[in-house]
Amino acid sequence: MLLDSKNECYGFDYFLDINKFPTTLHYEYDEESSELCNELYEKLETTPSLKIVWRIMKPFVKGKIVYSPNTTVVRRIVDRVRNLMKPLSLPNFDAERESLSMDPIVYVQVVKNIKLIKDYLQTMNKLKNSENINYLLQQGFHESVFKAEEIIE
């Protein structure tokens, strides 16, 4: 289980003279990996100079124990490590990013509205003695207007 690959191991000669071997390399699609990972794996396996590095790094990238017999003890250890690492795995932030991203048209409208509110608050500060403003403030808008003013500033 040194390398979890179906390719033959050519030995040390393979690493010395890579040009002796076939130029057309075939990649088998891995069902366990995503499409993006498969594209990357294919590039790594079909490029002769990168294939050397990929053969060494592949078990580590795929999360395999490099030198291990396939026994029940090793499987128990792997299961235990997987269970310990589950809470540490990073969550998928795509949904959060999409929910937080704003449509550019909506953003422009919000900016315009904020400018209008700022202008309104500036004129309100200038006209505090006006009857209309005093009436609005007395009717219950007092708290919400000042909360909006605090948020904007």
Segment 45-80, tens digit of pLDDT: 888 778 888 887 887 777 766 666 788 888 888 888
Choose between 15 and 111: higher pLDDT: 111
Degrees, nearest 5: CA angle 37-39-43: 115
Summarize the chain as % helix, strand, coil (round to 5).
65, 0, 35
